[in-house]
Amino acid sequence: MSKILETDRLMLRPPRRSDAPVFYRLINDPQIAANTLGIPYPFSYEQALSYIQDQLDRINTGEYRAFALALKPENQFIGYARLALREDHQRAELAYWLGKAYWNNGYTSEAVACLVDYGFQRLHLNRIYALCFADNTGSARVMQKAGLVYEGTWREDVLKNGVYKDVMFYGISRDRYETASR
């Protein structure tokens, strides 16, 4: 179950408990929290440990394919991505975050393109979708570049730091993926 994927600049490998120190340093960031549905700020070291353990548990049950994003050649941890599988519907929800120091280099797009290929080609999914806050244009661009199509906006759907935020959803189905790949 422990898969390693590779792109030009990244290794996508299973998260490890030993990622915790650098994981914590990157995730404990108000801008990460502001741009993700489920990550709070401040984020404690204990939360980082249990977050990683939760990923490992869900990998073991088959619910997640989760990956640390590691920058070659030193393979340092720079972010995280996962596919949450619903095998009964042959689909997965994609989610990701990248340490702020590594933004604007196309790393997330590189990882997400790799995971979309992995989802359709290796996991034989029919659909991959992802959510982002409507004001998170960076994340929306990542989804568009990976071929995901805008599908709608749940208005004022998530309460974050006292504000009701719009959540956009993007998706791609196998038919579109195969048409685009040809």
Partner 1 sequence: MDGNKLVLETERLLLRPHTLADAPVMAALVNNRKIAAMTGTIPHPYPDGAAEAFIEQAQSALADGTGFTLAIVRRSDSAFMGNIGLRPNQHHAAEIGYWLGEIYWGKGYATEAAQRMIRFAFEDLALHRVFASHFAINTASGRVMQKVGMTYEGTMRQHIYKWGEFHDLVYYGILVNEQTS
**Closer residue to partner 1 (CB): 8 or 88:** 88
CB of 160 to partner 1, least distance (A): 9
Compute, in degrees rounded to 10, the torsion defined by CA atoms 128, 34, 23, 26.
130
155 residue type, one letter = R
Peptide bond into 42 cis (omega under 30): yes
What's the closest the beta carbon of residue 73 comes to partner 1, in angstroms?
Answer: 39
Q: Which positions lie near partner 1, rule CB under 8 A?
A: 88-91, 126-127, 129, 149, 151-159, 164, 169, 171, 173
Closer residue to partner 1 (CB): 54 or 151: 151
The residue among 45 and 164 lying less far from partner 1, judged by its C-beta, is 164
For strands 64-71 and 76-86, give the pairing.
antiparallel
Q: Least distance (Å) from partner 1 to the CB of residue 148?
A: 10
β-strands 91-98, 127-133 pairing = parallel
Q: Tell me how far, at minimum, the Cβ of 176 lies from partner 1, in Å.
A: 8
For partner 1, give the closer residue by CB, 1 or 159: 159
Helical ranges in the chain per DSSP H: 20-27, 30-34, 45-61, 107-117, 137-145, 174-181
